[in-house]
């Protein structure tokens, strides 16, 4: 890794919550680039005036503040980071490869996360069965894309890896809570290998949220969504 550090005379701040997989993307990217930053921890039940000022449309994390410039939405922030700090690039130079990385990052949010989070974690019965089937179909596409590669970005972690990286930690939690297995060695050998490789990368491994706290959080979220409890 390029050991150059960003000059802290200039401001780099990340507005985050302890559990947000979207904010985690920004933290990973900055650390992979060797950029020093301050983290502002938000309570989304009691959002700070600064968060509401910086992100008045969505009112959520992550928000990146760089020298007074405000950037919102995690995938947009990742591209800003990559264009601002050139070391350890997240996107390739080739236009087609770059477009492909953006496609899989968006596919992860629009299809994979929606089917697993909305269709499996937050559903039960017939609806959950449908969500599970959709999730397996989406994971099949990822399996085909990652086959023969170490990372979606090739030999190094790239934009698509960071966007899909939540699978390497949060998916196990979803599987534990609902009692279903989505990624296993038999059905998705390449994706399972990627999941392990990504999770064990030092910068990734060192920044995971506490697993037990995540289990507790998402049990509460699930029960509240199913009408069985009150979200905390």
Query: What pLDDT was estimated at residue 129?
Result: 98
DSSP string covering 163-205, please? HHGGGGTHHHHHHHHHT---S-TTT-HHHHHHHHHHHHSHHHH
Please tell me the distance from the alpha carbon of residue 12 to that of residue 33, in angstroms, as a whole number.
13
Low-confidence ranges of the chain (pLDDT < 70): 1-9, 229-232
Query: What pLDDT was estimated at residue 228?
Result: 77
pLDDT digits (tens, 9 = 90+) for 98-122: 999 999 999 999 999 999 999 999 9
Query: What pLDDT was estimated at residue 229?
Result: 62
Q: Rounded to two decimals, what is the model's pTM? A: 0.92
**DSSP 3-state assignment of 114?**
helix
């Amino acid at each position: 890794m390029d050991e150059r550090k960003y000059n802290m005379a200039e401001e780099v701040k990340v507005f985050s919550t302890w559990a947000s997989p979207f904010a985690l993307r920004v933290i990973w990217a900055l650390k992979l680039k060797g950029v020093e930053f301050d983290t502002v921890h938000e309570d989304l039940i009691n959002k700070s005036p600064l968060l509401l000022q910086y992100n008045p449309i969505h009112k959520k994390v992550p928000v990146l503040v760089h020298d007074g410039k405000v950037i919102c939405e995690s995938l947009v922030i990742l591209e800003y980071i990559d264009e601002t700090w050139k070391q350890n690039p997240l996107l390739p130079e080739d236009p087609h490869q770059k477009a492909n990385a953006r496609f899989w990052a968006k596919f992860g949010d629009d299809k994979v996360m929606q089917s697993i989070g909305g269709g499996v974690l937050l559903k039960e019965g017939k609806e959950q069965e449908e969500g599970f089937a959709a999730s397996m179909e989406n994971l099949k596409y990822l399996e085909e894309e990652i086959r023969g590669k170490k990372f979606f970005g090739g030999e190094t972690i790239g934009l698509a890896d960071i966007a899909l990286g939540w699978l390497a930690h949060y998916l196990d939690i979803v599987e534990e809570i609902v009692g279903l297995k989505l990624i296993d060695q038999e059905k998705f050998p390449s994706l399972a290998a990627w999941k392990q490789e990504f999770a064990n990368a030092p910068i990734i491994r060192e920044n995971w949220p506490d697993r037990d706290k995540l289990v507790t959080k998402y049990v509460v979220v699930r029960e509240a969504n199913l009408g069985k409890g009150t979200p905390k």
